[in-house]
Chain A
Amino acid sequence: MRDGRRRFVVRIARAAGVVPAVLSLIEGRGEALPRGQETDFAILDAALVIEHHAIAVYDTGLQRGLFPPGLRDRAVEFRGDHVGHRDTQIAISRERGGRPPEARAHYDLGPLEPGDGFVRQALQIEVAAQEAYTALISHIDTRDYLLSAAFILVDEVRHMTVWRRVLGFRIY
């Protein structure tokens, strides 16, 4: 299961052009990267790829009414969190002269099942995001980005835990 999730996040990150060194870290087989601006940019880019993807998942689910009716508000809230994560990290990147990756024109989300099936899809991207931030956070050099990434990670864990609860998985 864990390997499957890792492959998922690596697949979307690779397709979006995330550098191999960061992909290796997400895969759990990377060497320590030199701490500095370049590594921070690589992590920001990888994180943004994931946030763009997460927003696409929630947009699709909300626009097509795929979330169970009682969970729509929750999905709207989580989408808003991801938009916040995206905008925060774009701002950090631009402030330092970076060129953050934009969202793709189209996301292939595979078969779209309504109800619990789509909650599982949302859970998949949340778990991927949580694992990616957890893998990358210790390689961040600057205090302001490290602090932001920590609070973003808190959000990802909350999203993941709520969806796990909805689907009847263990949460403690």
Chain B
Amino acid sequence: MPSALALASTGRRRFLRGAAAAPLVCLGRPAAVRATEYASASEVLDTIDRREVEVAGRLAAIARAIAGAQAFADSVASDQAGHRADRDKLRHRLKLPASSVPAPPPDLSLAALREAQQELVHAHAEGLPALGDAGAVAVLARHLVDASRQLTVIDLWIEAEELRA
């Protein structure tokens, strides 16, 4: 099915499956699919901010063009507002500077939206080990759940569009 194929084609999923087949998680994965190693919590949060703004911009542009997308866009915007507030609290508690992120150019491509959402998911997942704070991991893990759910919704959406075509 398209969504499964799309997900299975991602580098990180190949990494996990490869790791399952070949015993050691950190060994034997090709450099091309190596997970991003973040150096600090600040870098993780900055990356998530950038990815989230990109998703929001792309989804807003699509929702303006496709009436049926508005409910999903509103739901994602609501989740993202909560996540931003949580990250602001984390930055304050961990004494990290605020970030400012420029909005991306509008784009109506579902594939580009999917790519942006996937990068947001990966930024959360790959960022957890760099946070160095159990409370921050717990918060971003909950955000990871939301972002992963949204990625799956986009996959199902793409799948439905392909079936319709």
Contacts and interface: CB of A to CB of B under 8 A. Distances in A.
Contacts of A77: 4, 8
Given A88-B16, A158-B152, A139 B128 contact: no
Contacts of A143: 129
A172 B128 contact: no
A172 B80 CA distance: 13
Contacts of A88: 16, 19-20, 25
Contact of B148 (A35, A139, A145, A157): A157
Given A130-B145, A172-B149, A147 B76 contact: no
Interface residues of B, number: 44
A130 B4 CA distance: 19
A21 interface: no
Interface stretch (A100-108, A117-125, A148-156): A148-156
Contacts of B144: 150, 153-154, 157
A74 B142 contact: no
Interface in A102-147: 130, 134, 137-139, 143-147
B16 A84 contact: yes
B17 interface: yes
A158 B25 contact: no
Contact of B23 (A86, A95, A153, A162): A95
A172 B75 contact: yes
A87 B124 CA distance: 23
Interface residues of A, number: 40
A73 interface: yes
A73 to B, nearest CB: 6
A1 interface: no
Interface in B101-154: 121, 124-126, 128-129, 134-135, 137-138, 141-142, 144-145, 148-153
Interface string B20-53: 1101111000000001000000000000000000
Per DSSP, chain A at the interface is helix
Contact of A171 (B129, B138, B153): B153
Contact of B141 (A134, A162, A172): A134
Q: Give the one of A134, A144, A158, A172 with max B CB within 10 A.
A: A172
B91 interface: no
B20 A83 contact: yes
A86 B148 CA distance: 20
Given A94-B23, A157-B152, A171-B156, 15 more contacts: A77-B4, A88-B16, A91-B24, A91-B25, A147-B126, A147-B129, A148-B19, A150-B125, A151-B16, A153-B144, A157-B145, A158-B7, A161-B153, A165-B156, A171-B149
Interface of B: 1, 3-4, 7-8, 12-13, 15-17, 19-21, 23-26, 35, 71-72, 75-76, 121, 124-126, 128-129, 134-135, 137-138, 141-142, 144-145, 148-153, 155-156
5 contacts: A88-B20, A146-B128, A147-B126, A147-B128, A151-B13
